[in-house]
Amino acid sequence: MCGIFGVTDDRNASRLAFIGLFTLQHRGQESAGIVADDGSRLVPYSAMGLVNEIFSKDVLDSLAGHAAIGHIRYSTAGSSDIKNAQPLFFNSALGPLAVAHNGNLTNAARLRADLQRSGAIFQSTADSEIIVHLMARRRGRTLEDTIARNLPLLEGSYSFLFMTPGGMIAVRDPNGFRPLVLGRLGRSHLFSSETCAIDVVGGKTIREIEPGEMVVVRKGAVRSRRFSRPAPLTRCIFEQVYFARPDSVVAGRTVQLTRNEIGAMLAREMKGVKADIVSGVPDSGTAYALGFAGASGIPYQAVFMRNHYTGRSFIQPDQTLREFTAQLKLAPIGGVIEGKSIILIDDSLVRGTTSRKIIASLKRAGARNVHMAIASPAIVSPCYYGIDTPTKEELIANDLTPERIRAYIGADGLHYLSLGSLITACGGGTDRGFCSGCFTGRYPAGRNVKRAK
Ligand code: AMP
């Protein structure tokens, strides 16, 4: 998963992009980059690490210009390479061009092989680079036409920002897998993966970019055109379950409220389960637990202190330090746990390792029993559209029954939310509108999809 942010028509564009990326940091912590447009040139800067560590005052000063796009990349094993940091930047027959991508192209391996056979030399291993090679080979009358001609060759998920001197183009794939919203701030237009970043820079969200839509901003004016008829909308339901920040609006509703509603649904499905307190695994579990408490009458209580400074890349240099990782990240609050029967909510169960560790730590702290509640159905199949889920074999629900999973994680009970309740709580109508391939193994786009990276 990644995050993208774009700003037009503001002389502080790269500073606003920095604030936007900083707000979207939860979507990726491996690398970050900004490309600024000074009207005639594009100036790129990207590095490995967190937004706040990369962009010093000097770096931001060097990114002068009236427009900028930025990208943050999600850390997945083996792909930690500065070559894959985005926005990608090219000087080609198309002129200077920068590209930022959130998504995953399911036909990337085939397209890349075809392009390489015909002479393309790739700078990175990122699937995102493919669109630029396609564009260099199949040109249209204008840059927009060139992009519109080539996007239909891509399969899978993509929200893209393209920038050239004087122009910015935003597109969202025909299924709308990944989010992308349009906002305004004074004279400037903003594009963002999530509305929370538009709020933080002081802007106003106008609307989502529609599936199959291309939005072009040039000389302060915004235009919209379609590059594809929209396929049935299948937005990723995991955005609301886990990825999006609670203060973002997704599918017309603040994510915190959606998660409260999901918690209430869980409470209804688990009517027979008694407990002294209900709690959530921080951070995402908290909103679910509050919703559960409201619907069930079981009081909410925080049972873990989360250390916000460990980050995702907590270095584990030796066995002695490694042993402290779990307690360091989530420390049980002993006094509220001892002797209690607890319903504990987490957003998802993937390999089961997190639940196993935290239930053991609650039991060590004196919990009488722990009933685990998961705010989504069992994950039985990988994601091909950009969420970092492991292979099918590593997914615990792929080969263990719920009863055996319960025993493995050491819980006294285990309940998964039903898919119907999840879709209803996320705002799905009769046409449903969500991709739930990870819960069902049924994928809406790209037949015979293979993991592209
Ligand atoms: P696991 O320990 O493998 O069962 O993973 C479940 C935990 O990982 C839950 O606490 C989730 O909040 C978190 N999680 C779920 N999906 C992802 C993801 N794509 N990337 C990182 N963490 C995730």
**Mean pLDDT score of the chain:** 92
> Which of 348, 379, 391, 406 to mutate to test ligand 1, by most ligand atoms within 8 A of the CB atom?
348
Is residue 365 very low, low, confident or very high in pLDDT (cuts 50, 70, 90)? Answer: very high
* 426-441 pLDDT tens trace: 987 644 699 999 999 9
pLDDT of residue 78: 41
* 301-315 pLDDT tens trace: 999 999 988 765 555
pLDDT of residue 244: 97
Which tokens sit at 315?
Answer: 């270095």
Q: How many residues does the chain have?
A: 453
pLDDT of residue 403: 97
Query: How many degrees, rounded to 5, is the angle at CA 213 between CA 212 and CA 215?
Result: 155
pLDDT of residue 367: 98
Model confidence at 76: pLDDT above 60 = no
Active site residue 2: yes
pLDDT of residue 448: 44
Ligand 1 nearest-atom number relative to CA 383: 19
Q: What are residue 31's phi and psi, to 5 degrees?
A: -150, 165
* 223-240 pLDDT tens trace: 999 999 878 889 999 999
pLDDT of residue 231: 84
CA distance 43 to 36: 5
pLDDT of residue 316: 57
- Closest C-alpha to ligand 1, atom 20: 388
**Is the CB of 352 inside a 6 Å radius of any atom of ligand 1?**
yes
**Is the CB of 387 inside a 6 Å radius of any atom of ligand 1?**
yes
CA of 156 to the centre of ligand 1 (A): 22
What average pLDDT does range 244-264 have in this prediction?
97
pLDDT of residue 327: 81
pLDDT of residue 452: 38
Model confidence at 451: pLDDT above 50 = no
Give the architecture (CATH level 2) of 3-231. Answer: 4-Layer Sandwich (3.60)
- Closest C-alpha to ligand 1, atom 13: 348
**Is the CB of 54 inside a 6 Å radius of any atom of ligand 1?**
no
pLDDT of residue 79: 63
> Which of 238, 242, 439 to mutate to test ligand 1, by most ligand atoms within 8 A of the CB atom?
242
* 85-144 pLDDT tens trace: 999 999 888 899 999 999 999 999 999 999 999 999 998 888 999 999 999 999 999 999
CA distance 14 to 8: 10
CA distance 304 to 285: 11
Helix 130-137 crosses helix 143-150 at what angle (to 10 degrees)?
A: 110
Instruction: Considering the candidates 2, 236, 383, 438, report the single residue annotated as catalytic.
Output: 2
**Is the CB of 9 inside a 6 Å radius of any atom of ligand 1?**
no
What is the residue extent of each domain of the chain? 3-231, 239-440
* 262-280 pLDDT tens trace: 999 999 999 999 999 999 9
Non-local CB neighbours of 25 within 8 Å, separated by 6+ positions: 3, 50, 51, 72
pLDDT of residue 77: 41
- Distance from chain centroid for Cα 101: 12
- Cβ atoms of 18 and 71 within 8 Å: the answer is no
pLDDT of residue 438: 94
**Is the CB of 199 inside a 6 Å radius of any atom of ligand 1?**
no
Model confidence at 75: pLDDT above 90 = no
For domain 239-440, the CATH class is alpha beta
Say how many Å lie between the first and final Cα of the chain, rounded: 12
**Is the CB of 242 inside a 6 Å radius of any atom of ligand 1?**
yes
pLDDT of residue 447: 42
Model confidence at 290: pLDDT above 90 = yes
Please list the residues that pair with 416 across neighbouring strands. 374
- Cβ atoms of 245 and 194 within 8 Å: the answer is yes
**Is the CB of 239 inside a 6 Å radius of any atom of ligand 1?**
no
* 188-234 pLDDT tens trace: 999 999 999 999 999 999 999 999 999 999 999 999 999 998 788 89
